[in-house]
A and B are shown apart, each in its own frame.
Chain A
Amino acid sequence: MKIRPLNALLLHVVVLLAGVAFAFPLAWMVLTALKPLEQTMTLPPVWLPHRLYLPDTDPPVEARQVGRFERPMVRIERDDTGETEWVPREYVSGGELRVISSTGEETARFVHVLEEIDASPEAPWYRLRAIHPDGSLGEERLLPADQVTRRISLRWDNFILALRAMRMFPRYLANTVVLCLLTVCGTVISCALVAYGFSRIDWPGRDRLFILALATMMIPFPVVMVPLYGLFRWLGWIGSLKPLWVGAWFAPPFYVFLLRQFFLTIPAALADAARIDGCNEFAIFRRVLLPLVKPALLVVALFQFMATWNDFLGPLIFLTDQRDFTLALGLQYFQSQHGGTEWHYLMAASTVVILPVIVLFFFTQRTFIEGISMTGLKE
């Protein structure tokens, strides 16, 4: 297809802008995961995680930033108590500190100014405390930002600390992996059998029943949720992983549909030849068909893996004990306990939950994309 240079340029600008918009949230998540807490909540934002070092030490001593000033500040000593503190210069005039409380009351205290600095948003000053080898912090020091040495440094140990803060992370991971294994095996085996029955054997009523199977995909989960809960409760399965994987062994229709699409493309002549040789139907399924449809089985396995890994509502309903939680539920539980402040840990934990999915995608990209494309193809 020919395209004019100006249009081509415009096209690339649009795709680049869209690409940046789509990539930024994940990039921001990973960058946040690699920062120390004090670098997550600053304005303007810290883009790259870094460490700060005091300028006049040799070897350089690392310091933690405990605050920053962006307007002229003065350090004052209160005449009555002798306490010293930093306050904005505009609050002090003629030896008096004026403070307006939240109720609008104005109070004045006699103070005297010890020192002052000329900070601004363009030239901020950092409040720093040296980090001693034993982890304790030194006296607070105030330095102009441009005198502080800064080196980019990624806090990989955030991941370990975040997972430790999740407490039961190993359990969550083990539960999720077990569930993924059980559901993937169940789906692949049962759906392959059922799809075979719906495509390779000719029997009366087959296609009408298949339409029925497809139609059940429209049923929203809330419609079956309560009786299933009652059923699993009656079986004593609530609080175990069983309600989350047993269903996969009964051929979820979506995957049957995908496999059937694939099975229909295999020529019937192969099976007929085997039939003449006296193979029974199961042997044909096992020996002739299955080896030919491995890519489709892989697609189904991948999709089911993702579905189990990502599921939230199922675990939320059927799991009661924290020891049985999946990663998705565990992450939500962690957020409900630690949310709102420890963004670096929350982003690290989220990254850990997302990472396996993305790695898996990269290793199976071609199969994956083909599988997704297939879902849109109706007969």
Chain B
Amino acid sequence: MRTAAKLRLRNGLLFISPWLLGFALFVVYPVGATFYYSFCDYDVLSHPVWLGLQNYRDMLTDTVLWQALGNTLLYAAVSLPLGLALSLGLALLLNQPIVLRPLFRTIFFLPSLVPAVALAMLWLWMFNGQFGLLNIALETFGIKGPIWLGDPAWTKPALVIMSLWGVGGGMIITLAALQEVPRELYESAEIDGARARHKLWHITLPMISPVLYFNLIMGLIGVMQIFAQPYIMFGGNGGPSRSALFYAVYLYENAFTYNDMGYACAMAWILFLIILGLTLIATRATRRHIYYAGKAK
């Protein structure tokens, strides 16, 4: 029997060996190296020179970095809740008896498939201050639209609107969860005289809470790393008054434009810690409200 256990261990490790190798090469080595470089002056071309905590100290006084971090947190604080609410709202809508439901599901979902670069191109055009569709639409309601991408006050709202257009993925996940909620729960609630909003609050939302939590965490990890759209639309310097300079964009600039890779590595570690911290806070804050069916908690 002991040989059978040994054989299983050997086979198991053999099967997962691609991941083990990848883990060593693409996770352990680079994460460790980034940590080391974050204490060094490093430009890839020459050997890293030990600096101690200098990179981290520089970060404290780097006003551009603080602006980028502020932009990123502000953007996240607005786009994440709005995105979650919209994906939930659309999913709830599609869970109702609606004519042409598959068509609407497709219409809501398709934008989330659009590649980031094409997305940026499309919205550069949509947000064009003079001929963009958005301002033309606003004009029909008698509203004079801003110049969006040219106005520091409107660059981040523009990016939020773009992100809302792409909530289709989260919507599909939520919709799938909604369809898993057992019908009997609603039926027995109806017998007890529950109204629609009671059913939503006391049955639907608790039952799909694991998926809402999943969307929250995935959204959080993604939103803190936003790069492609602002980089393509505003370039590496972050557009008017650096209003669209995000953390990952500034990190990229430091690494590949200024060749200050040590500093970029320090920034990367701080980003990692921020994401971990926010994930922890989000988990703590929501833990009591998440209901896992079949698991007594």
Distance in Å: Cβ of B271 to nearest Cβ of chain A? 6
In the complex, chain A residues whose CB is within 8 Å of the CB of B177: 376
Which A23-54 residues have C-beta < 8 A from chain B?
23-26, 28-29, 32, 40-45
In the complex, chain B residues whose CB is within 8 Å of the CB of A15: 93-94, 98, 104
B159 adjacent to chain A (CB < 8 Å)? no
**Cβ of B18 and Cβ of A281 under 8 Å apart?**
no
18 contacts between A and B (CB under 8 A): A19-B103, A23-B107, A25-B111, A26-B111, A194-B16, A194-B19, A198-B15, A203-B9, A224-B30, A230-B261, A312-B231, A328-B116, A335-B121, A335-B232, A343-B125, A353-B117, A369-B105, A377-B211
B225 adjacent to chain A (CB < 8 Å)? yes
Docked CA distance A226–B9 (Å) = 35
* 8 Å CB contact of B13 from A197, A227, A317: A197
Interface class of chain A by DSSP: helix
Residue of A with least CB distance to B228: A312
Distance in Å: Cβ of B231 to nearest Cβ of chain A? 8
In the complex, chain B residues whose CB is within 8 Å of the CB of A249: 18, 22
**Cβ of B11 and Cβ of A358 under 8 Å apart?**
no
Residue of A with least CB distance to B125: A343
Interface class of chain B by DSSP: helix
A91 adjacent to chain B (CB < 8 Å)? no
In the complex, chain A residues whose CB is within 8 Å of the CB of B131: 40-43, 45, 343
**Cβ of A201 and Cβ of B15 under 8 Å apart?**
yes
Distance in Å: Cβ of B210 to nearest Cβ of chain A? 6
Distance in Å: Cβ of B118 to nearest Cβ of chain A? 4
Docked CA distance A42–B131 (Å) = 7
In the complex, chain B residues whose CB is within 8 Å of the CB of A373: 172-173, 175-176
* 8 Å CB contact of B15 from A193, A226, A349, A353: A193
On whether A230 and B44 interact (CB within 8 A), knowing A222-B251, A223-B271, A331-B118, the answer reads yes
Interface size on A, as a range, is 35 or more
**Cβ of A29 and Cβ of B117 under 8 Å apart?**
no
- Name B's A-contacting residues (CB within 8 A): 5, 8-9, 11-16, 18-19, 21-23, 25-27, 29-31, 33-34, 37, 42, 44, 90, 93-94, 96-99, 103-111, 113-118, 120-126, 128, 130-131, 133, 136, 165, 169, 172-177, 186, 210-211, 214-215, 221, 224-225, 227-228, 231-232, 248, 251-252, 255-256, 261, 264-265, 267-269, 271-272, 275-276, 279
A262 adjacent to chain B (CB < 8 Å)? no
Residue of A with least CB distance to B269: A223
Docked CA distance A256–B276 (Å) = 22
Question: Which of A102-110, A144-152, A212-220 is near enough to bind chain B?
Answer: A212-220
In the complex, chain A residues whose CB is within 8 Å of the CB of B13: 197, 203
